[in-house]
A and B are shown apart, each in its own frame.
Chain A
């Protein structure tokens, strides 16, 4: 099999991993060596699905001993299988990198033989890149659940980011769809990596020669819609991961049916709008100081897809509104629907010079369509309707009920007609990427 064919099979098999970020780490190269890492991350191209290509995202092999129901590479599937050799991956990475096609390598693998052997192979690849080739680009590597802790310790010395995908948000779902994987196999290495990161950071303060250990932190991924887990379960899990293991990102992936099976839902329409709302909720956890239980509760465990999570929250907490934009502290401004991080910064900056008028707010990039109901400007309320939950809800409701549109069990002819993406129906389609809510 030639390299082209292998690349097609093994990058096609890796594409359902959403993470492609190359941010959070910084590595300046020594002169005469290849590669550097910029802390903001760099996108090198965008595919027709709108996702960015930053890293060469491939599996080392797709021969797998496991039979997870949701996975395209499960043992029982009859698909073309391939495996890269260590040198093939190293050469491909270096050659792509030299042409500025990629920011680095994202190396994952199906589990062949056993978890330890797989992890060892992955580690060999990145060790060779770093030590033999002096490669200074970004490396994201998967920790294989069940691999020994020594291997995890070693791999982290060469990687910028490590990740272990949880995929299924609860123990029940895991037993249902991935009976070969154990919960402990996922969370133990996560804990171990986090402890290592903290230890190495502590040592670096004392000894400058201490090597970096996973400087870009950890991330993980959850599949949305393959199991009956609700949004509250999912966001609470993310919250725990951020608080306990200091994860940098949790990615959400709307379930795309690649297999059929007894325990799998019969989905015709991947729930991408639900995924979008979860991403927005995730930003609120990380950047806006919200907690999962504020956004959702047992009575309302799922987001109303018609509204973004911040509007959802504000509508159920109307007693906190309206806030006065000329005096409210930064943290309070951040909680107003229609005011994002950047417009909140601009407001606090501009009002130091002179009090702001309502017209100024538009100039500062505040989305008045939503914000008007939740603010006063120089004590005056400018909302088109009174401060009343039902009235505001009606005013902000999209023309089309998005809950219907995102129903995973119904194939919608509407979208064939417009041949467009569902995401365009929400007015804030980029906010799950930029985090400006």
Chain B
């Protein structure tokens, strides 16, 4: 078995797929970060090559479909260990049976793809609601999140459109990068935990937080108490950055 190790970028993944696709012996794709040397496996380091990545990208787009390409991208964003194996299996399956195989919702590979895609898009949707901004200076806002999946690229457009008249930063603490918006462009940029701590102290006293806390408390109907339902919609692991709880 060969271990194909790529740099963790989407283009890197597509380049790795390019090389793995013609490989006859079994291969495993891995991010550099996840790689642990294995006694019997040969390590092959994949250097990202944009033209090879583009070829894979375009052939999925034109020979299969935009939806299939989107599925691959969402799976990549899931950040789940060993998701690359599923991605490779999925692409092989689609090229073998043509894009209509996506209709076979009972196929185990298609089921897994649907499942993980739903998880990623579901979390992205949830976080359009769960991001909590703190005002660090007038009309400059900062928020910290720790999502399971790498959802920043998916929520960027939503926040850019909604808050087009205020500066904001949405900081993914797990992946140490952030969405930065400066009233013109929104882009993704590295942002360390240390810098995050500094920004958070600037926002320490925001009087609106207390108002929201009292609203949260007053709007609860105690006769209908149902914490299990609350947790099923909003799992506890997300509570850390919510000001109201």
Contact = CB atoms under 8 A, between A and B. Distances in A.
Interface of A: 3-4, 7-9, 11-12, 14-16, 28-36, 38, 40, 42-54, 56-57, 92, 95-96, 98-101, 103, 256, 270, 272, 346, 349-350, 352-354, 356, 360, 363-364, 420-421, 423-424, 429-430
Contacts of B224: 49-51, 256, 270, 272, 421
Contact of A53 (B132, B158, B216, B229): B216
A15 B139 CA distance: 30
Give 4 closest A-B pairs by Cβ, nearest first.
Answer: A50-B229, A50-B226, A360-B106, A346-B105
A11 B212 CA distance: 11
Interface string B2-40: 000000000000000000000000000000000000000
B91 to A, nearest CB: 18
Nearest to A362: B106
A261 to B, nearest CB: 18
B133 A99 contact: yes
Contacts of B215: 7-8, 11, 56, 96
B129 A42 contact: yes
B62 to A, nearest CB: 23
15 contacts: A8-B215, A15-B218, A15-B220, A16-B221, A33-B164, A46-B230, A49-B224, A50-B224, A51-B224, A53-B216, A98-B135, A352-B100, A352-B103, A364-B106, A421-B226
B229 A45 contact: no
A43 B101 contact: no
Contacts of A101: 132, 208, 212, 244
Nearest to A419: B225
Contacts of A424: 228
Nearest to B126: A43
A103 B129 CA distance: 8
Given A11-B219, A33-B165, A364-B105, A99 B135 contact: yes
Contacts of B131: 100
B143 interface: yes
Interface residues of B, number: 56
The SS class assigned to the B binding surface is: helix
Contact of A430 (B130, B165, B220, B232): B232
B233 A46 contact: yes
A101 B135 CA distance: 13
A44 B134 contact: no
Nearest to B162: A36
B104 interface: yes
B70 interface: no
Contacts of A360: 106
B164 A34 contact: yes
Contacts of A429: 229
B234 interface: yes
A48 B105 contact: no
Nearest to A9: B218
Interface in B188-230: 206, 208, 210-212, 214-230
Interface residue SS majority, chain A: loop
A95 B132 CA distance: 12
Given A12-B219, A50-B233, A98-B139, 7 more contacts: A7-B214, A15-B221, A33-B164, A46-B233, A49-B221, A53-B219, A256-B224
B61 interface: no
B67 to A, nearest CB: 13
Given A46-B233, A99-B134, A31 B141 contact: no
B134 to A, nearest CB: 7
Given A34-B163, A346-B105, A256 B226 contact: no
A49 B129 CA distance: 18
Residue among A54, A100, A256, A423 with the most chain B CB within 10 A?
A100
B166 interface: yes
A28 B135 CA distance: 24
Nearest to B128: A42
A46 B233 CA distance: 7
A429 B141 CA distance: 38
B225 to A, nearest CB: 6
B106 A356 contact: yes
Nearest to A92: B211
Contacts of B212: 96, 99, 101
Contacts of B174: none
A45 B125 contact: no
B220 A350 contact: no
B92 interface: no
B160 to A, nearest CB: 9
Contact of A100 (B103, B132, B226): B132
B211 A7 contact: yes
B221 A256 contact: yes
A12 B161 CA distance: 32
B242 interface: yes
A264 B68 CA distance: 58
A34 B105 contact: no
A43 B129 CA distance: 6
A363 B104 CA distance: 11
Given A8-B218, A50-B224, A270-B223, A95 B208 contact: yes
